[in-house]
């Protein structure tokens, strides 16, 4: 998350600003009261003057009375002008007070968000405690309830016990086993009763998992040379084995280790320099940088192929994240951007692009030949892409971003924000039930159950737009949702679309975690090379591949001049190398999904009972 622009992170500074605003508010209240008192006194004097004029007009008998009447009329006119001036000051004071009140509310909301950002929980989640129902029950648009569970038996003892969780066993059978024999001393092998020798009747086995540090070795390629001793027809020798770094000392395994360590395990090269020194050889980080650069050059054709395939996907999810870049034309550092473009299941690749700014030129160039759905956040740079595509690129917005706006507005307008958050949670419950359906079945489910909820949200947004202050958190949330409304509703028209863009945000965590370690890119030229390496490793992560084995094989085959790149794509490589698929990650994802599904089912069942 980015910091709130224009505000410090110090809550005490925010408190001092709020105290100054409240003191100014009290002073304006006092000035307004004094102005009202003076206006009332002026009105009283005007009325007295008017009565005096009337009396004088009745008693006019000579010129002196006419002069007194003219003077009284002048006083009355002056009094009216004074009244008008005081009323203008009063109106201006009221306007200033209203402006200060809005500024106070805005700063209070910003302070609450800053405190939550620094000290609070980042997750936008309600309590999933059993038995807690929905905050706002909407029976006319609620989703279909879960089938009722059978009534519990009268005897609690008849309830079947929960199945015991199987013990967790670490998979170590595939590792090398070193057998270490232990035996008793000869004196303890004699029977204490009869004095005869004891016989071995069995053995106990205790296994211990140990660690042997990685080793660097030098492969010496011996290339014999042959020549005819009689003729001078030349010398014959086998070809030099290909290397990922032509003329370099690094083998494919070492280069793959360096790339995976930095771009998958998030180790900066100075730490890697120390690690390799512990393993027995000092390699300067400048040398490691050269290896990373050459690896990106070798891998670029495979990354370009994945880009071509992603642009054939009917749906692309995209997002961006900043990165500090050193060098360039201007002194100091600048902010570059990594953009991720994710294809659907038929084009299962995640491609990265790098730009030196967040202008729309980068996405526009990448997507210039694309036709299909583009799901992204509300970044304004995409608007020109949608408008200039003549309808060939369809905008799909993210409900997660819209939900976040209303989540931040709960302290300012709890009832309105929580009501809309409840409807959004119902939309996500429908998506959870439709997760395992076919696209056509999922579309039918959304048309039947999600569309009425969206209609209700739209009606509520129209109502709030006239009541919520534009600069308040609720007003900003309403404005965001109404500006993106057509794109927010788009997902119900195609079962292949998703309700949010969270897949791209999860993918960009690879850069967010790495950025906290290696801090910056050394130059603008390093950005595109890093994008190539992130693309290759993102494919390995998406298909649960052991990254070192995959990258080593790809480097060997590409540096050998292989031109058939399709077998090197991560999904196809995984199918041909199942031994390098990280099965524990797949099992972990399935268990996590099963737990989430169970919690949501319990929440829906509790909501149907309370409803």
* Mean pLDDT taken over the chain: 83
* Domain-located, residue 158: no
Q: Cα 520 to the chain's mean position, in Å?
A: 20
**Euclidean distance between CA atoms 298 and 532, whole angstroms:** 10
Say if residues 31 and 110 touch (Cβ distance below 8 Å).
no
Closest CA to 460 of 428, 488, 482, 433: 482
Kindly report the CA angle at 91 between 89 and 94, in degrees rounded to 5? 110
Q: SS3 letters for 403-440?
A: HHHHHHCCCCCHHHHHHHHHHHHHHHHHHHHCCCCCHH
Q: What is the number of other CB atoms lying within 10 angstroms of the CB of residue 545?
A: 22
* Beta bridge partner(s), residue 375: 317, 396
Cut 0.85: pTM above it: no
Closest by Cα among 256, 293, 214 to 522: 293
Q: Are 344 and 314 in contact (CB under 8 A)?
A: yes
Query: Does residue 397 carry a pLDDT above 90?
Result: yes
Give domain status of residue 326, yes or no: no
pLDDT tens profile 75-101: 888 888 888 888 888 888 887 777 777
Alpha-carbon distance of 242 to 383, in angstroms, equals 47
- Phi and psi torsions of 335, nearest 5°: -110, 115
| 1 pLDDT more than 70 | no
CB atoms inside a 10 Å sphere around CB 101:
14
Q: What is the dihedral of CA 165, 168, 174, 180, to 10 degrees?
A: -130
Is residue 36 situated within a structural domain?
yes
pLDDT band at 165 (very low <50, low <70, confident <90, very high): low
Structure tokens that stand for 331 in this block:
């002194």
Q: Which of 45-54, 240-249, 290-299, 357-366 has maximum average pLDDT?
A: 290-299
Task: Quickly count: other Cβ atoms within 10 Å of residue 369's Cβ.
Answer: 9
Q: In the predicted model, is pLDDT for residue 64 greater than 60?
A: yes
Counting beta carbons within 10 angstroms of the beta carbon of residue 97, is it exposed (0 to 12), middle (13 to 18) or buried (19 or more)?
A: middle
In a domain, 74, yes or no: yes
Residue 167: per-residue pLDDT? 56
Q: For the residues 494-508, what does the mean pLDDT come to?
A: 92
Q: How many domains does the chain have?
A: 1
Pairing mode, strands 350-355 and 372-375: unpaired
Question: Quick one: pLDDT at residue 143?
Answer: 44
pLDDT at 267 over 50: yes
* Three-state DSSP state, 451: helix
Distance CA 470, CA 483 (A): 13
Q: Which of 143-152, 157-166, 397-406 has the lowest mean pLDDT?
A: 143-152
Closest to 338 in 3D by CA, of 169, 190, 537? 537
Whether the Cβ atoms of residue 263 and residue 540 lie closer than 8 Å to each other: no
**pLDDT score for 134:** 46
d(CA 598, CA 611): 20
* Mean pLDDT of all residues in 566-584: 93
Predicted confidence at residue 329, as pLDDT, reads 73
Single out the residue of 335, 328, 297, 294 nearest to residue 523, CA to CA.
328
Q: Which of 145-154, 258-267, 367-376 has the lowest mean pLDDT?
A: 145-154
pLDDT of residue 124: 62
pLDDT over 80 (residue 105): no
Higher pLDDT, 133 or 396: 396
Predicted local confidence at residue 492, as pLDDT: 95
Give the per-residue pLDDT at 5.
46
Share of the chain above pLDDT 90, in %: 37
The answer to whether the beta carbons of residues 143 and 430 sit under 8 Å apart is yes
Q: CB–CB of 203/180 below 8 Å?
A: no
pLDDT per position as a tens digit, 107-156: 777 777 677 667 666 556 554 444 444 444 444 444 444 444 444 444 44
The whole-number pLDDT of residue 453 equals: 95
Range of the domain at 101: 11-118
Residue 316 has pLDDT above 90, yes or no: yes
Please write the tens of the pLDDT for every residue from 539-565.
999 999 999 999 999 999 999 888 899
**Structure confidence at residue 358 (pLDDT):** 80
Residue 124 falls inside a structural domain: no
pLDDT in tens, 432-482: 889 889 999 999 999 999 999 999 999 999 999 888 888 888 899 999 999
Is 39 inside any structural domain? yes
Average pLDDT over residues 7-15: 68
- Rounded to an integer, the average pLDDT of 350-375 is 90
Rounded CA gap, 581 and 587, in Å? 11
545, 581 in Cβ contact below 8 A? yes
The answer to whether position 201 is within a domain reads: no
* pLDDT for the residue numbered 4: 44
Q: Looking at the domain assignment, is residue 398 inside a domain?
A: no
């Amino acid at each position: 998350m980015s910091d709130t622009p224009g505000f410090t992170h110090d809550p005490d500074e925010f408190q001092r600003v709020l105290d100054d605003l409240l003191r100014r508010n009290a002073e304006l209240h006092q000035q307004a009261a004094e102005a009202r008192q003076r206006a009332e006194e002026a009105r009283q004097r005007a009325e007295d003057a008017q009565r005096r004029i009337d009396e004088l007009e009745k008693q006019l008998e000579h010129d002196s009375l006419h002069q007194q009447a003219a003077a009284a009329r002048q006083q009355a006119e002056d009094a009216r002008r004074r009244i008008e001036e005081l009323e203008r000051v009063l109106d201006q004071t009221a306007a200033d007070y209203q402006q200060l009140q809005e500024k106070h509310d805005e700063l209070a909301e910003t302070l609450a968000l800053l405190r939550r950002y620094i000290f609070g929980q980042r997750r936008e989640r309600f309590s999933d405690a059993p038995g807690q129902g929905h905050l706002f029950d909407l029976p006319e648009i609620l989703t279909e309830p879960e089938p009722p569970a059978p009534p519990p038996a009268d005897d609690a003892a008849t309830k079947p016990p929960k199945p015991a969780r199987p013990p967790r066993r670490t998979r170590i059978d595939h590792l090398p086993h070193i057998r270490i024999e232990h035996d008793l001393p000869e004196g303890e092998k004699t029977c204490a009763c009869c004095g005869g020798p004891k016989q071995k009747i069995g053995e106990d086995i205790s296994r211990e998992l140990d660690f042997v540090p990685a080793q660097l070795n030098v492969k010496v390629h011996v290339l014999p040379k042959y020549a005819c001793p009689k003729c001078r027809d030349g010398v014959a020798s086998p070809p030099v084995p290909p290397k990922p770094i032509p003329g370099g000392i690094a083998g494919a395994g070492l280069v793959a280790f360096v790339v995976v360590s930095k771009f998958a395990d998030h180790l900066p090269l100075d730490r890697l320099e120390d690690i390799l020194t512990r393993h027995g050889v000092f390699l300067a980080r400048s040398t490691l940088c050269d290896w990373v650069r050459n690896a990106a050059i070798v891998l670029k054709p495979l990354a370009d192929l994945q880009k071509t395939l992603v642009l054939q996907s009917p749906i692309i999810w995209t997002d961006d994240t900043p990165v500090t870049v050193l060098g360039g034309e201007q002194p100091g550092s600048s902010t570059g951007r990594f953009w991720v473009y994710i294809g659907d299941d038929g084009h299962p690749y995640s491609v990265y692009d790098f730009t030196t700014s967040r202008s729309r030129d980068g996405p526009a160039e990448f997507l210039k030949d694309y036709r299909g759905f583009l799901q992204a956040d509300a970044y304004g740079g995409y608007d020109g892409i949608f408008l200039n595509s003549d309808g060939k690129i369809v905008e799909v917005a993210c409900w997660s971003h819209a939900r976040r706006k209303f989540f931040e507005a709960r302290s300012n307008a709890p009832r309105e924000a929580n009501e809309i958050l409840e409807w959004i949670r119902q939309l996500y419950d429908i998506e959870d039930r439709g997760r395992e359906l076919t696209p056509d079945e999922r579309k039918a489910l959304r048309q039947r159950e999600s569309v009425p909820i969206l209609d209700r949200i739209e009606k509520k947004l129209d109502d709030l737009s006239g009541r919520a202050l534009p600069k308040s958190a609720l007003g900003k949330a309403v404005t965001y949702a109404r500006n993106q409304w057509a794109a927010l509703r788009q997902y119900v028209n195609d079962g292949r679309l998703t309700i949010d863009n969270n897949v791209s945000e999860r993918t960009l965590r690879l850069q967010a975690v790495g950025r906290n370690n290696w801090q910056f890119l050394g130059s603008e030229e390093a950005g595109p090379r890093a994008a190539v390496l992130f693309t290759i490793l993102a494919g390995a992560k998406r298909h649960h591949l052991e990254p070192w084995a995959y990258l080593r094989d790809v480097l060997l085959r590409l540096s050998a001049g292989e031109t058939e790149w399709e077998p090197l794509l991560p999904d196809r490589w995984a199918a041909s190398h199942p031994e390098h698929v990280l099965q524990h990650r797949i099992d972990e994802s399935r268990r996590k999904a099963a737990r989430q599904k169970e919690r949501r089912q319990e929440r829906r069942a509790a909501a149907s009972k309370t409803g």
